[in-house]
A and B are shown apart, each in its own frame.
Chain A
Amino acid sequence: MTPSADARPKAVMGTDMRTHLGATQIPNPVLTASGCAAAGRELDPFLDLTALGAVVTKSVQLRARSGRATPRMSETPSGMLNSIGLQGPGIDELLRTDLPWLAERGARAMVSIAGGAVEEYAELATRLRGARGMVALEVNISCPNVESRGEVFACDPAAAWAVLAAVRAADPGVPVYAKLSPDVTDIASVARACVDGGADGISAINTLLGLVIDTDTLRPALAAVTGGLSGPAIRPVALRCVWQIHRAMREIPILGMGGITSGADALQFILAGASAVSVGTAVFGDPNAPERISHELANALASKGFARLSDAVGFAHQSVDFPA
């Protein structure tokens, strides 16, 4: 039973935490976040990877990437700014070692892919088709489009549509989530373009573009000058994005993320319309965070009287009129 907004919620014994990534059911709505868990192996000493909804692997590209020069990171109030440059060995190595390692343990993988051109995304999706243990694709479109003077795909609905359409064509079966940038005027319209292109769901949000200047050296703190801001500092922005996307497309599943460090934080995203959440930067402070947060979220839902996680998805919207 869904608790009504005016009734006093009664605590329930245990909440059914099952949810879906597209059509694929997962037992736990808490996932890692791309770039904040590598490919899972480093977190294995600290939590049960198989109990997570999925391990979202670091965005992979076709070729090996060195990443950018250092400094790559600056700690900020309740957050951090980073510009790593997607350092990684490329798709061959992911297919050869990382995905089999996760599959052997029974951990689900949501594979994040990134590219500089529409064709690169399509080729990655093709290479990954049928990979054992992969339950979904997350398409990181916060990358510069080499063929469009470096404009970020996620900031142009037409370019975002083109990437998602190409990925969908390359693998018609796999659940596909488009990961959106908050650095846009109307995130709901980008989300809609991605869904029109073939995305099953939306991951929101990626980092916000930021800058820190080192007052000792009088230069930008990061070698790349700007970087992506993450952590609790961006949580209200992320929550607003999830809220707007859910209002625009109530039936589209959202993987919510941005500064989640507790079960109560995760509950906010669920109430705003997310049907699953990713825990990112919190892992750097506490590698056990995704496991801890999934327990805290279950307790928070139970204490508010939700028998099922799915009953809580978008629940906060009931208190606010939807446009007719």
Chain B
Amino acid sequence: MSRTWGITQAIDLAQAHERMTATMSIPLPPVPKEKRPRPVQVRAKVVGVRVVGAYREFTLHAPGVGVDAQPGQFITLGVGGNSSALLLRRAFALSGVDGDTINVVVATHGPGTRWICDRQLGDVLDLIGPLGRPFPAPPPGGAALLVAGGYGAAPFVGLAQRLCAAGHAVAAVLGAATGDRLYAVPEFPALTRVLAVTTEDGSAGRTGRVTDVVPELLPGASVVYACGPMPMLRAVAAQSAAYGLICHVSVEEAMACGIGVCMTCVLPVIGDDGTSRFLRSCVDGPVFEGAKVRFDDIGRLPDDLYGAAAMRATR
């Protein structure tokens, strides 16, 4: 089934709430009296589970979440139920939206993602979304190059659909360490003029990394989008910059809350005023302009960062 973006019909939250309560026993968050600002917190029912290589792709009935969601945005899921010892939410890129249902792809990293991967049809998850800033549009008529590492391809399914529908030429490079860690490869031939697949062990596509292929495709592109591990983002952003192209990167940083409160998921980013700040990847990102991210300073406290002087005074 193809997933589509661009649903514009408004959803009556109270009605959705009533429909949900009629079929579920788990207590729901209180019904907002008036329409609350985005995002929304809903009880989402698992209506589809698909094994995709090393990943699980979940289709969730999540009323109100997809209404105006954009490719690049993400959702978070609570883990373990009400008495869980795992308190923090897990974040997943939206890989598709179709009316009241959304798609996410889950990779097992630890006990939290393992619990999510064990969910079955009919199970209910505590879901918040849409969160974060989406991918910016390409320049008018411009060709886009999408570069994904592993499940980093998830937000590009929707993005490629959007770009195709808007008449942009799309090329994509999808890479992973092994073939079973590629995602959504079958979706892309219909959406792209050029599709390259790489694996480091040669189990699918060309043997190598996405960065081996990117230089070949930069000449045909007017903007680059990248999503994957931080070293890959750094490399693709550098390749794009060397070619004079803007590269929008979608970062994956450890988050505690996903809604901008905890200040855990920060990284050093150069602002429009030239000043660098620790920005939150959950609300200021996850999409940043690659040239503005100080990849070399991730994990450090650069002296010139806004507010760094006050840290030296009290350390």
Is A63 an interface residue, CB under 8 A from the partner?
yes
In the assembled complex, the CB of A240 is this many whole angstroms from the nearest CB of chain B, namely 21
The answer on a CB contact under 8 Å between A66 and B126 is no
The answer on a CB contact under 8 Å between B85 and A66 is no
Is A291 an interface residue, CB under 8 A from the partner?
yes
CB closest chain-A residue, reference B314: A116
Q: Knowing A85-B311, A281-B87, A286-B78, say if A70 contacts B298 (CB, 8 Å).
A: yes
Q: Mark B277-315, 1 if CB is under 8 A from A, else 0.
A: 110000100000000000000111100011111110110
B:30-60 near A, CB below 8 Å: 30, 36-41
Residues of B near A88 (CB, < 8 A) are 307
The answer on a CB contact under 8 Å between A71 and B254 is yes
The 10 closest A-B pairs by CB, nearest first: A66-B307, A64-B307, A73-B264, A284-B257, A42-B260, A63-B310, A285-B87, A69-B301, A116-B314, A78-B85
Residues of B near A75 (CB, < 8 A) are 86-88, 112, 256
A:89-120 near B, CB below 8 Å: 89-90, 116
Residues of B near A78 (CB, < 8 A) are 85, 87
* Partner among A116, A232, A287 whose Cβ is within 8 Å of the Cβ of B128: A287
Is B274 an interface residue, CB under 8 A from the partner?
no
Residues of B near A146 (CB, < 8 A) are 313-314
The answer on a CB contact under 8 Å between B262 and A82 is yes
* Partner among B78, B277, B283, B311 whose Cβ is within 8 Å of the Cβ of A68: B311
Q: Once bound together, how far apart are the Cα atoms of A278 and B51, in whole Å?
A: 42
* Partner among B30, B86, B299 whose Cβ is within 8 Å of the Cβ of A71: B299
The answer on a CB contact under 8 Å between B264 and A82 is yes
**A contact residues, range:** 35 or more
Residues of B near A72 (CB, < 8 A) are 263-264, 266
In the assembled complex, the CB of A292 is this many whole angstroms from the nearest CB of chain B, namely 8
Residues of A near B29 (CB, < 8 A) are 46, 288, 292
Is A67 an interface residue, CB under 8 A from the partner?
yes
Is A77 an interface residue, CB under 8 A from the partner?
yes
Is B98 an interface residue, CB under 8 A from the partner?
no
In the assembled complex, the CB of B306 is this many whole angstroms from the nearest CB of chain A, namely 6
CB closest chain-A residue, reference B277: A66
The answer on a CB contact under 8 Å between B278 and A143 is no
Q: Once bound together, how far apart are the Cα atoms of A286 and B112, in whole Å?
A: 15
Is A65 an interface residue, CB under 8 A from the partner?
yes
Q: Once bound together, how far apart are the Cα atoms of A36 and B261, in whole Å?
A: 6
Q: Once bound together, how far apart are the Cα atoms of A63 and B308, in whole Å?
A: 10
CB closest chain-B residue, reference A87: B263
Known pairs A38-B261, A80-B87, A286-B78; list 15 more (Cβ under 8 Å).
A42-B260, A42-B261, A42-B283, A64-B306, A66-B305, A66-B311, A72-B263, A73-B264, A87-B278, A116-B314, A144-B314, A282-B87, A284-B261, A285-B78, A286-B126
CB closest chain-A residue, reference B84: A285
Is B200 an interface residue, CB under 8 A from the partner?
no
Is A26 an interface residue, CB under 8 A from the partner?
no
Q: Once bound together, how far apart are the Cα atoms of A69 and B309, in whole Å?
A: 13
Is B89 an interface residue, CB under 8 A from the partner?
yes
Is B100 an interface residue, CB under 8 A from the partner?
no
Q: Knowing A73-B264, A82-B256, A284-B262, say if A67 contacts B87 (CB, 8 Å).
A: no
Residues of A near B126 (CB, < 8 A) are 286
* Partner among B87, B263, B307 whose Cβ is within 8 Å of the Cβ of A231: B87
Q: Once bound together, how far apart are the Cα atoms of A88 and B310, in whole Å?
A: 11
Residues of B near A143 (CB, < 8 A) are 314
In the assembled complex, the CB of A88 is this many whole angstroms from the nearest CB of chain B, namely 8
Q: Mark B231-273, 1 if CB is under 8 A from A, else 0.
A: 0000000000000000000000110110111111011000000
Q: Once bound together, how far apart are the Cα atoms of A63 and B262, in whole Å?
A: 19
Q: Provide a sorted-by-A list of 23 A–B residue pairs whose CB atoms are within 8 angstroms.
A: A38-B260, A38-B261, A42-B283, A44-B37, A46-B41, A66-B307, A66-B310, A71-B254, A71-B299, A75-B86, A75-B256, A82-B264, A84-B262, A146-B314, A232-B85, A282-B87, A283-B261, A284-B89, A284-B257, A284-B261, A285-B78, A287-B41, A287-B257
CB closest chain-A residue, reference B128: A287
The answer on a CB contact under 8 Å between A87 and B307 is yes
Residues of B near A71 (CB, < 8 A) are 254, 299
Q: Once bound together, how far apart are the Cα atoms of A79 and B112, in whole Å?
A: 14
Q: Once bound together, how far apart are the Cα atoms of A77 and B87, in whole Å?
A: 9
